[in-house]
Amino acid sequence: MIIGLDVGGTHTDVVLIGQDCILRQVKVPTDPQNLLDCVWTGLAEVTRDVPPQDIRRAVLSTTLTTNAIAENKLVPTGMIVCSGPGVDPRCYKTNDYFYNVSGSIDHRGREVQSIDQMEIEAIASRLRSEGIRQVGVVGKFSVRNPQHEIQIRAMLGDDFDHVVLGHRLSGNLNFPRRIATTYLNAAVYPLHKKFFDAVKESLEKKGLHIPIYILKADGGTMSLEASLESPGQTILSGPAASVMGSLPFAAEDEETLVLDIGGTTTDMAILLRQVPLLDPLGIELGGFKTLIRALKTQSVPVGGDSVVRLLGERITIGPDRQGPAMAYGGPAPTPTDALFVLGKTSNGDVGAARRGLQELADKLGVGVEEMAARIFDEACFNILNEAAKMISTINSKPVYTVHELLEGYQVRPKEILVLGGPAPHFAFRLSRLTDFEVHVVPQWQVANAVGAALAKNTCEVTVFSDTERGIVLAPEENYSESVKRDYSKEAALELAFELLRKKCLAEGASQDEMEMEILEEMQFNMVRGFHTTGRNIRVKVQVKPGLIPEYKDIAQTLFNYCPLPS
């Protein structure tokens, strides 16, 4: 048996999954002030009377770090940044205690200016005296040569609880994003650690020795222990949970648009033959642009509880939510009220819904049913328009070779999968309004928790080699070696796969979860004068997001609900 738990904004969903179906599903209201209780209550309820040794693993997706960033409840963190010439690093200041120090590395990874030990020691003593316990260290081009970050780390000594080095978080070039990513990882660390220590402790107290995994924003999992190394990866795992839950129902040979229709927003994602599309750069949250790997998702401010208004003759939906639908005692008409008026839903106050819509209908001089139909269609069109925009943005992503430009792969989904509260009603209408094949994800109420339960590990490794300088390095893996001039792309790929395998195992993946693939492989001859003097090799490999192998083939039937006797 496995457990999936997803803490959402309003509810925490938990499922217990057996050999061939969902054995238990639990919904607990989320108390943002006490997430630990939500997690604990959820886990306690689904595991009641179940022998702990029968539970192979539990995967948790929480809003802990996301909320901390959104609400700016981050611990004070020291940031030591060495930029050298270029854009003024003060433009990328993340917080107080942000220090730009001497030291500079160029684009090839050569040292231009060295670190000043006195300067670092002065900053360290200042941070100490201010009581700062977390530090982030980031250098421009540190993924080409991490020496400065490593030197600064050594100079800081053991005086701090946690020091995060930028080059260990991503192999991608982007100094400002590396700064933000390092800052967030350092600043959420104590919160993340405290929370999961508490989760572990309470499980053990109850004798539940269950391996805990954490869901990442890219739809993959990592062990609780591994998550302490990069807690930033847990930011925005919520949307990923739903997308992973829809995976079993996507066409195997088609592209799919996933719509998770919630109360305030609709989250959109794209699947390419059952593999979710990743964001090329990383998460953006709370004004931070990061290098944190994530599924490409986009939020549209249209949901079941969005406020409906008239702008002249035009119906507008959202972007705000003022409370639940009027049918549930809310203050303003919503698309959910339209569903009541249309007779699609009945477990609330239909009269209140009608009254809300009647007012709008009178202004337009139409019947209340007609009004409801128009509101509902408007919501559908809003979502479809935003989806079209997202797809067009994906397709206009720049490429850098003649081959890619001419052969340019274009995303053209033919299918929509809908989940979330009003999923069946939206699915029905969307299929009438468009040429898409539209399906509802079965058990859509808990698809997010199922997605978390079934997600397998994901990893990425970047290898860079400059054979004129005689080096090969994998910055995130803390790996560097000397190489000869004739070091090749093939050798770099072999190394990358080997490092990827190690990384997966370290993150708690099982051997059979490792479906590896090449993301990028480039090799340039370096010519100086009229002679070839070396090779510049860039390689990136990954384990792509997907479902754990033993459940992959039966994933569809797993969505059957066959409740355990309670």
Partner 1 sequence: MLRAPIKTGLVFFPAFDWAISSTHPEREERLLYTQDQVFEEGILDVEGIIEYKPDLATYQDIRRVHFCAPEESRVVTESHLISAGGAKKIASEVMQKKIKRGFALVRPPGHHAMRVVHGCRGFCNINIEAVMIEFMREVYDIGRVAIVDTDCHHGDGTQDIYWHDPDTLFISIHQDGRTLYPGTGFQHELGGPTAYGATINIPLPPRTSEEGFLYALEHAILPILEDFKPDIVINSAGQDNHYTDPITSMNFSAQGYAQLTHLLKPDIAVLEGGYAIEGALPYTNLGIIMALAGLDFGQVREPDYRPEKIRQSKDTSRYIEKVIDQTMDYWENRLHLGEKARAGKQFAERERSIFYDTDNILETQRERLKVCADCPGALAIDSKTDSGYHVYAVHVPRKACSHCKELGYEWYDAADVQEFDRVFLQDRSQNQYIAKQG
Min separation Cβ 409 and partner 1, Å: 13
Rounded distance, CA 180 to CA 95, Å? 10
Burial class for 251, CB neighbours closer than 10 Å (0-12, 13-18, 19+)? middle
Which H or E element spans position 212?
strand 212-215
Closest to partner 1 by CB, 27 or 108: 108
Nearest to 540, CA basis, from 466, 474, 488: 474
How far is the C-alpha of 39 from the C-alpha of 342, rounded, in Å? 37
DSSP annotation of 476 reads G
| Residues numbered 29-48 forming contacts with partner 1, rule: CB under 8 A | none
Q: Which is nearer to partner 1, 314 or 403 (CB)?
A: 403
| Under rule CB under 8 A, residue 173 binds partner 1 | yes
How far apart are CB 473 and partner 1 at their closest, in Å?
A: 15
Query: Which residues contact residue 413 at a Cβ distance below 8 angstroms, ignoring those fewer than 6 apart?
Result: 254, 255, 256, 257, 270, 391, 436
| Smallest separation (angstroms) from partner 1 to the CB of 281 | 8
Q: At its nearest, how many Å lie between partner 1 and the CB of residue 182? A: 14
In the complex with partner 1, the residue whose CB is nearer, 478 or 532, is 532
Shortest gap between Cβ of 163 and partner 1 (angstroms)? Answer: 22
Contact call for residue 140 and partner 1 (CB under 8 A) = yes
Nearer to partner 1, 192 or 293 (CB): 293
Smallest distance from the beta carbon of 532 to partner 1, in angstroms? 7
- Kindly give, in sequence order, each residue whose CB lies less than 8 Å from that of residue 429, ignoring residues fewer than 6 positions away: 376, 377, 380
Nearest distance from C-beta of residue 169 to partner 1, angstroms: 15
By the rule CB under 8 A, 91 interacts with partner 1: yes
Asked whether position 92 contacts partner 1 by CB under 8 A, the answer is yes
Shortest approach of partner 1 to residue 403 CB, angstroms?
5
Cβ-based nearer residue to partner 1, 141 or 487:
141
* Residue 509 to residue 398: CA distance in whole angstroms: 34
CB-based contact 143:171 (threshold 8 Å): yes
Cα dist from 343 to 289, 340, 402, whole Å:
44, 5, 55
250 and 451 in contact (C-beta within 8 Å)? Answer: no
- Which window, 78-86, 253-261, 358-366, 477-485, contacts partner 1 (CB under 8 A)? 78-86
Question: How big is the CA angle at 326 (ends 320 and 328), to the nearest 5 degrees?
Answer: 110
Residue type present at position 386:
E
How many residues of this chain interact with partner 1, rule: CB under 8 A? Answer: 44
Among 104, 145, 246, 467, binds partner 1 (CB under 8 A): 104
Tally the C-alpha atoms within 13 A of residue 43's C-alpha that lie toward its C-beta. 27
174: left (phi over 0), alpha (psi -120 to 50) or beta: left
Q: Is 444 in the site for partner 1 (CB under 8 A)?
A: no
Contact 333, 310 (CB under 8 A): no
Query: Does residue 280 interact with partner 1 by CB under 8 A?
Result: no
CA torsion 551-552-553-556 (nearest 10°) is 80
Give the whole-angstrom CA distance, residue 366 versus residue 418.
30
Stretch that binds partner 1, among 169-177, 245-253, 258-266, 421-429 (CB under 8 A): 169-177
Q: Answer yes or no whether residue 405 interacts with partner 1 by CB under 8 A.
A: yes
Nearer residue to partner 1 within complex by CB, 18 or 470: 470
Which residues have a Cβ under 8 Å from the Cβ of 456 and sit 6 or more positions away?
220, 221, 509, 513, 543, 545, 546, 547, 548, 549
SS3 content of the chain, % helix, strand, coil (to 5): 40, 25, 35
Report yes or no: 193 and 228 within 8 Å, Cβ to Cβ: yes
* Binder among 41, 316, 431, 536 for partner 1 (CB under 8 A): 536
Indicate which single residue of 49, 484, 530, 566 sits in contact with partner 1 (rule: CB under 8 A).
Answer: 530
Structure tokens at 473: 């390095």
Shortest spacing between CB 503 and partner 1, in angstroms: 24
When binding is defined by CB under 8 A, the residue of 494, 524, 554, 563 that contacts partner 1 is 524
How far apart are the C-alpha atoms of 216 and 451, rounded to whole Å?
A: 12
Q: Select from 42, 136, 171, 176 the one that contacts partner 1 (CB under 8 A).
A: 176
Interaction pattern, residues 417-436, with partner 1; x per rule: CB under 8 A: --------------------
Q: CB nearer to partner 1: give 511 or 525.
A: 525
Identify the residue whose tokens are 């650690």. Answer: 193
Q: By CB under 8 A, which span of 125-133, 173-181, 269-277, 340-348 interacts with partner 1?
A: 173-181
Query: Does 85 sit near partner 1 (CB under 8 A)?
Result: yes
User: Whole-angstrom Cα distance, residue 433 to residue 527?
Assistant: 57
Q: Residue 181 or residue 382: which is nearer to partner 1 going by CB? A: 181
CB 504 within 8 A of CB 515: no
Judged by CB under 8 A, the chain residues 105 through 134 that form the site for partner 1 are: 106-108, 112
Cα separation, 180 vs 191, whole angstroms: 17
Q: Which is nearer to partner 1, 70 or 87 (CB)?
A: 87
Binding residue for partner 1, selected from 211, 287, 351, 367, defined by CB under 8 A: 287
Query: Which positions from 362 to 401 touch partner 1 by CB under 8 A, shown as an x/- string?
Result: ----------------------------------xxxxxx
Tell me which of 409, 531, 565, 566 binds partner 1, using CB under 8 A.
Answer: 531
Name the token pair of 346: 């009945």
Report the nearest approach of partner 1 to the CB of residue 173 (Å): 4
Least Å distance, CB 478 to partner 1, is 20
Residues that bind partner 1 (CB under 8 A): 84-88, 91-92, 104, 106-108, 112, 140-141, 144, 172-177, 281, 287, 289, 396-403, 405-406, 522, 524-527, 529-532, 536
